[in-house]
Amino acid sequence: MSGTERARKTADGLEHVTGFGNEHSSEAVRGALPVGRNSPQRAPLGLYAEQLSGSAFTEPRAHNRRSWLYRVRPSAAHPPFTRTDNGALRGAPFTESVPDPNRLRWNPLPEPAPGTDFLAGLWTLGGNGDAAQRAGMAVHLYHANSPMTDRVFSDSDGELLIVPEHGGLLIVTEFGLLAARPGHVALIPRGVRFRVELLDETARGYVCENYGRPFVLPDLGPIGANGLANARDFLAPVAAYEDIERPTEVVNKFCGNLWTATYDHSPLDVVAWHGNHLPYVYDLRRFNVIGTISYDHPDPSIFTVLTSPSDTPGLAGVDFVVFAPRWLVGENTFRPPYFHRNVMSEYMGLIEGAYDAKAEGFVPGGGSLHNMMSAHGPDRETFERASAAELRPQRIDDGLAFMFETRWPVTATAQAATAGHLQTGYDDVWQGLERHFTPSSGAAPTDRP
Ligand SMILES: O=C(O)Cc1cc(O)ccc1O
Ligand SMILES: [Fe+2]
């Protein structure tokens, strides 16, 4: 592999180019990338030139996303696609059930049947918006025990933010190879073809399918020029191609449904590329956590890794938020997440360990849905413990949780609403919160340090 810009090797032995949203370029064979033009009369080495657009041609430069691919065969050379079974995948609009105002919580997906690959193992929990309108999001889970062999997937409906919880993934994309292990997230842009191999025997995790504007880093405002997820920690692959001449199934998700075509070659045959519509991985342990060093519990927007903006400033189609190891030092403060009702809808998952608002029942691989305006917060046990705790500096380092927070309510699919792994009695975690109100006790209403 020879990168046209200096590539960096990471622990997985893979080379990467670094940075968020950058123009990168890479060639797996020296001389494959045309110099000084995108579309020469004859592309180098007998390759075909092809543009992949992730934004309208005319979007402002800051939002414009496209990559040029130099490939063995043009993507256009393919047989017709026909409908195939959607399996447990569902798409927006989510109309098979009514949106539920109740607080819902799930245990992890059951073990997959033998021979389940990443694509077959995708299971839709719910979502909102409309894929055809390019607005909204879906929450999927996956479980897999087999590699995708001679099988490639692409999603025309949106980008896929993959959050492994168990087992590592080797993601073979048109742009090259990415490894994503628990604690990493991987992003596959809209339309990019890829297949997933397993780095461990089984794999399990979460996927946010974002139909709306592509994820970007949030603005930092008064935080300044650095912090939260730093752009330099995002890793894109270097060019690597498959030269495989045997039948390969290409599955495309289009407006909620799966379509299939059998090519006579692997379409992961891109020898060189340049552009900014690229897959990437990010290690959540690199997240620079910012929080209070005085009092009160800041809103979790301070933990935003990536945001998909809408046309309204500050109102995300979906935010991806991480609850990473950090110190809690707030004085005279109830330190875990507060009781709240939120106009945004919150789906939460757990990558490892425990989450500081829930003593029990919220487990790695499981998830909770707190829809628009539903009342939630610390469970009884957490409330009682944190209200009485001695407020020494405390390090929270026994868990990695995340949230997909979206502007629209999440409608659970029928399979999620009736799943055996849907917990019953989740409401009970807030039962037994006793009344303590004693009007005569005379506590100072503004009892600040
Ligand atoms: O509900 C949750 O646990 C997520 C969350 C965390 C937090 O620290 C503050 C608000 C919030 O919604
Ligand atoms: Fe919340």
| pLDDT bucket at 105, cuts 50 / 70 / 90 | very high
Q: What is the pLDDT at residue 2?
A: 44
Strand, coil or helix: 343: coil
Confidence band of 422 (pLDDT split at 50, 70, 90): very high
User: What is the distance, to the nearest Å, from the Cα of residue 22 to the centroid of all Cα atoms in its chain?
Assistant: 19
Distance in angstroms (rounded) separating the CA atoms of residues 410 and 27:
42
The DSSP call for residue 113 is: P
Query: Given this model, what pLDDT does residue 441 score?
Result: 72
CA 378 to ligand 2 center in whole angstroms: 9
Task: Produce one character per residue of 27-59: b if its CB has 16 or more CB atoms within 10 Å, e if not.
Answer: bbbeebbbeeeeeeeebbeebbbbebebbeeee
Residue 337 Cβ < 6 Å to ligand 1: yes
Query: Cβ neighbours of residue 351 under 8 Å, at least 6 residues apart?
Result: 163, 164, 165, 182, 183, 284, 364, 400, 401, 402
Instruction: Count Cβ atoms within 10 A of the Cβ of residue 368 and give its class: 0-12 exposed, 13-18 middle, 19 or more buried.
Output: buried
Fold of the CATH domain 285-425: Jelly Rolls (2.60.120)
Active-site residue, from 78, 166, 265, 297: 297
Q: What percentage of the chain reaches a pLDDT higher than 90?
A: 93
Taking the centre of ligand 1 as the mean of its atom positions, its distance from the CA of residue 397, in whole angstroms, is: 17
Positive or negative torsion for Cα 160, 161, 166, 169: positive
Ligand 1 centre to CA of 344 (Å) is: 11
**Residue 8, pLDDT score:** 79
Residue 265 Cβ inside 6 Å of ligand 1? The answer reads no
CA 377 – ligand 2 centroid, Å: 6
Residue 143 CB less than 6 A away from ligand 1? no
Q: Cα–Cα distances in Å, from 280 out to 24, 174, 231, 408?
A: 12, 12, 11, 27
Check residue 357 and give its pLDDT: 79
Q: pLDDT tens across 47-81, in order?
A: 999 999 999 999 999 999 999 999 999 999 999 99
Phi first, then psi: what are they for 238, rounded to 5°? Answer: -105, 160
Report pLDDT for 4: 63
Strand, helix or coil at 251? strand
Counting ligand 1 atoms within 8 A of each CB, the residue from 319, 328, 338, 355 with the most, and so the one to mutate, is 338
Q: Atom 7 in ligand 1: which residue has the minimum CA distance?
A: 337
Tell which atom from ligand 1 comes closest to the C-alpha of 336. 8
Residue labelled with tokens 């409330």: 383
Say whether 280 counts as a known binding-site residue.
no
Q: What is the pLDDT of the chain when averaged over all its residues?
A: 95
| DSSP structure class, residue 314 | T
pLDDT tens digit sequence for 381-409: 999 999 999 999 999 998 999 999 999 99
Overall average pLDDT of the 98-104 stretch: 96
How many residues does the structure list for the chain?
A: 449
Q: Domain coordinates of the chain in residue numbers?
A: 285-425
pLDDT tens per residue, range 241-252: 999 999 999 999
346 annotated binding-site participant: yes
pTM of the entire predicted model: 0.96
184 is catalytic: no
Residue to probe by mutation, ligand 1, list 105, 292, 323, 382, most atoms within 8 Å of CB: 323
